[in-house]
Amino acid sequence: MTKLDSETLVKNPTIAIEKLNHFFGKGELRKQVLFDINLEIKSGEIVIMTGPSGSGKTTLLTLIGGLRATQSGSLKFLGMELCQAKEKQLVKARSNAGYIFQAHNLHHSLTALQNVMMGLEIHPHYTRQDMKTLATKALQEVGLGDRLHYYPEDISGGQKQRVAIARALVSHPKIVLADEPTAALDSKSGREVVEIMQNLAKEQGCTILLVTHDNRILDIADRLVYMEDGKLVSKT
């Protein structure tokens, strides 16, 4: 697995954001979408970010995960400064994060096992057999040991999201970033999904930052963060 060196992880075990601003567009169309964000997330912490649609939650999540470049301020991801970072640094950040989205983003032409194996392909030192073994174990941990060779069209919405969780956690990332993971699920399936995510992340000792409008799952958080109009307005 590609990891930051252990010394860096020990010294910088958090997400640390200071005076972060972000803009979309250029020239006259330039619009500020994040304003002076200050946030620190401790290693192993489960933080839920909530707030109205369009408040900047997903934008902040993608910046933290290195999915887009940070423009202004400071954003340290496991000790790496991502503001004005080069693509190589962003790739390194991505390799230490697991991603779970509202749309599970599974490849419909691949089985559950093959989809989870994809979560290891950015870690080149794994053999094909290693990937298969780890992916099988990850699917067993989310209760899908009997669905390894099922295609996405043959399993339920909750099971698809379990496959997505297995894919996100199979490489034992330091941080899991989840964007509305329960939005398309009923109450029971949504609860099961976040509890699986919570238990596995705690076992692995990784941090979770979860964006949601789902008030039914707020109790899993160690801390709640509320965003409005591109600003962090409360942290409880």
pLDDT digits (tens, 9 = 90+) for 40-68: 999 889 999 999 999 999 999 999 999 88
Residue 180 makes CB contacts below 8 A (sequence gap 6+) with 101, 102, 211, 212, 213, 214
pTM, rounded to two decimals: 0.84
User: In the prediction, which pLDDT does 199 show?
Assistant: 86
Of 79, 76, 59, the residue nearest 68 (C-alpha): 59
Residue with tokens 């699986």: 196
Residue 92 gets which letter from DSSP? H
pLDDT digits (tens, 9 = 90+) for 95-119: 889 898 876 789 999 999 999 999 8
Of 193, 224, 221, the residue nearest 50 (C-alpha): 224
Both tokens of residue 13? 């075990």
